[in-house]
Structure 1
Amino acid sequence: MKLKNTVGVVIGSLLATSSLAVMAQGQGAVEVEGFAKKEMFDSARDFKNNGNLFGGSIGYYLTDDVELRLAYDEVHNARGEDGRNIKGANTALDALYHFNNAGDALRPYVSAGFSDQSIGQSGRNGRNGSTFANIGGGAKYYFTDNFYARAGVEAQYNIDQGDTEWAPSVGIGMNFGGGSAPAPVVAAAPEPVAEPVAAEEPMELVRVELDVKFDFDKSSVKEESYGDIKNLADFMKQYPQTTTVVEGHTDSKGSDAYNQNLSESRANAVRDVLVNQYGVDATRVNAAGYGEARPVADNATDSGRAVNRRVEAEVEAQIQQ
């Protein structure tokens, strides 16, 4: 079970897709990382001390949460019982599942995959080749949309020898996602065209407005807001000719690019409740994010920032009196 024959194919596929302009951290993004590991060798190896591993990886996001990562590292500072240096290299292919939402600063993850190791003592021709099954976990912290730090640990089961080794690691990486996705250009909802009516049957304009507030740095809809969202959904079902644009906003904390992503995540979260929970036709609800560009309160105060962390929507309909 060797992985070396797949290395060229996977690298070529990742580089070919890295030119796509997509949301940072989201589906289609590419991450490049440099890392250091401390491999805790199993006692059956008869090594005097554990090894320091240094290497790099490249990953491709198949979805907003699932990343396929190819990594390579080399072994340093390990010694055998006779004092000779232990040299070698590892090649690994892992899948990572990330928690939280694309665009959040903190993204914990779990990982699983396989690695191939070739290792031996300096000055000797014989080398030991082993295949490992890997499982692990950790977290990434995004300082910006494009730079992050990672810490994690892996358990490595040696399929050929039947023993298990541990490898804690830290890394620094860059995300090449083509920058934040621009705010979608949404055509203004057309004004309803009233059917011709007699003069004695005047029309009346009715309106429903939505204002959903969010916690700091969060895009999940709070339970207390579901009732207001349902009222909007019921109104749209009563007047099936109506459409709406769900608009997301943030306070001024954080970078412009980060807030743009966060505002889009908030708008999409409210849209998902309207469509998936309350049954509004998806073609009648669009979502747009405006970041921190449209405050309605003073961002210099906590109370003002709380008001600005919001999603807004409104629906109008004309009815006969």
Structure 2
Amino acid sequence: MKFNKIALAVIAAVAAPVAAQAGVTVSPLLLGYHYTDSAEDAQRKLFGVDEKNGESLDSGLWTGAALGLELTPSTQFQVEYGVANTDTTVVVNDREVSGAEADAKQQTISGNFLIGTEQFTGYNPATKFKPYVLVGAGQSKIKIEDKASGQELDESKDTIGNIGLGARYLVNDALALRGEVRGIHNFDNDWWEGLALAGLEVTLGGRLAPVVPVAPVQEPVAPVKPAAVVVEDRIVDTDRDGVPDHLDACPGTEANTVVDARGCPVQVNLVEELRQELRVFFDYDKSAIKPQYREEVAKVAAQMREFPNATAVIEGHASRESARSNARYNQRLSEARANAVKSMLTNEFGVAPTRLNAVGYGFDRPIAPNDTAEGRAMNRRVEAVITGTKTTTVNQTKDMVVQ
């Protein structure tokens, strides 16, 4: 298990710098059953003489770990390391020899694509059950040692290919349960193995949000200009904008509109500022958003769509339930609450995650005393401040003050 611990340490070291990036997944422990019975004949030929005289690896427990990167909301690429420690079965003249087995260790490292079937059926962020197809390749290393002396008896390094089916169940925005079955083909020695595994997957920085399509902008159609009208040598100004009809390039101007020398409306830019606040309260030791606050989050998302440059700072807080409250645990809890609001804005309402900044403050910033139940309930909260501006071009009117 020494090499397994080293692989876990490497995965943890690689994951640390990218923990703040969305779409990075870590599976710190995968447990499974490694089936090798279908490879017995080929293994006896490799580690012995023929199918009737040689040794083969027993089926048994498999452990592993994986580090992945989401390529789309339903597909990711993973680097995986696994190890199986078992015994061998020795056969002489097609009969098993009792007590002649040796220690066998099989280590694999592979790169696998987990391709979500939603690629073909349509992405649905509300569905927690995410089936996928696994395709990948890597290397397998088998080492056989004598039980008593520890002396190496045989070794093989081979190229392998992986193909399988699996599914993830999204517990929340950060955790998912994973189950999978796969076939492993040894290309160098032409045998098949099987693996059934299960584990927990942790997503760092939030999952990738689906791309929200933007409706195309239609170009305005210019109005048809009527011909100038001259009646009996009299100057006619039908729309009363101060420019005669025969010189008016924009007839039919609305009353009280400022026009230029051509009779066209003078346009000005109006800058509208947005400042909106959101406050969501949570149950004790929970980070799930209660249904009554979903409408408030939806209003924030609608304002952020109306103001394309608007951004939000999402602050998560916790309450000090007692004098011995764990500051580190409450820090993580406050971060989980902030990320829950961020996840709802991105996954359910299509707000780009780059416009949102989620941060947790633990129980360091209470808004009410923590010595009452009502005060602690007020402190278990998320506060968000949304700011932005929007510029609109309008026709200037005579009573409009332009700075």
TM-score norm. by structure 1 comes to: 0.52
Which runs of no fewer than 5 residues in structure 1 stay unpaired?
1-6, 182-196, 204-216, 218-242, 248-253, 272-286, 290-315
Q: Deviations over 1:78-111 (max 9, x none)?
A: 4323522322211111122234456863322222
Q: Which residue of 2 aligns with 1:264?
A: 346
Residue 106 of structure 2 aligns to which amino acid in structure 1?
A: G
Compared CA separation, residues 86 and 148, structure 1 to 2 (3 A): same
Residue 141 of structure 2 aligns to which amino acid in structure 1?
A: S
Partners of 1:125 and 1:30 lie apart in 2 by 38
Kept after mapping to 1: 8 A contact 2:110/2:137: yes
Q: Which residue of 1 aligns with 2:140?
A: 117
Mapping 1:177-188, distance limit 5 Å: 177=205
Shift of 1:137: 2.0
Partners of 1:179 and 1:110 lie apart in 2 by 19
Shift of 1:264: 2.5
Higher relative contact order (CA 8 A, sep 6+): 1
Compared CA separation, residues 21 and 180, structure 1 to 2 (3 A): farther
Shift of 1:138: 0.7
Q: Which residue of 2 aligns with 1:96?
A: 114
Compared CA separation, residues 257 and 166, structure 1 to 2 (3 A): same
Q: Which residue of 2 aligns with 1:131?
A: 159
Which runs of no fewer than 5 residues in structure 2 stay unpaired?
1-5, 45-55, 91-96, 147-151, 210-240, 243-252, 258-290, 292-304, 311-335, 357-391, 396-403
Mapping 1:28-67, distance limit 5 Å: 29-41=24-36, 42=38, 43-44=40-41, 45-46=43-44, 47=56, 49-67=58-76
CA RMSD of aligned residues (A): 4.6
Q: Which residue of 2 aligns with 1:141?
A: 169
SS of aligned partner of 1:62? strand
Kept after mapping to 1: 8 A contact 2:81/2:109: yes
Kept after mapping to 2: 8 A contact 1:133/1:158: yes
Compared CA separation, residues 63 and 147, structure 1 to 2 (3 A): same
TM-score norm. by structure 2 comes to: 0.42
Kept after mapping to 2: 8 A contact 1:65/1:102: no
Q: Which has the larger radius of gyration?
A: 2
The percentage of counterpart residues that share the same residue type is: 17
Compared CA separation, residues 32 and 22, structure 1 to 2 (3 A): same
Q: Are 1:201 and 2:255 an aligned pair?
A: yes
Q: Between 98-107 and 125-134, report the one with greater CA deviation.
A: 98-107
Mapping 1:1-321, distance limit 5 Å: 15=14, 18-19=17-18, 21-23=20-22, 26=23, 29-41=24-36, 42=38, 43-44=40-41, 45-46=43-44, 47=56, 49-81=58-90, 82=97, 83-98=101-116, 99=118, 100=123, 105-123=128-146, 124-177=152-205, 201=255, 244=306, 257-258=339-340, 260-268=342-350
Residue 267 of structure 1 aligns to which amino acid in structure 2?
A: F
Compared CA separation, residues 135 and 164, structure 1 to 2 (3 A): same
SS of aligned partner of 1:15? helix
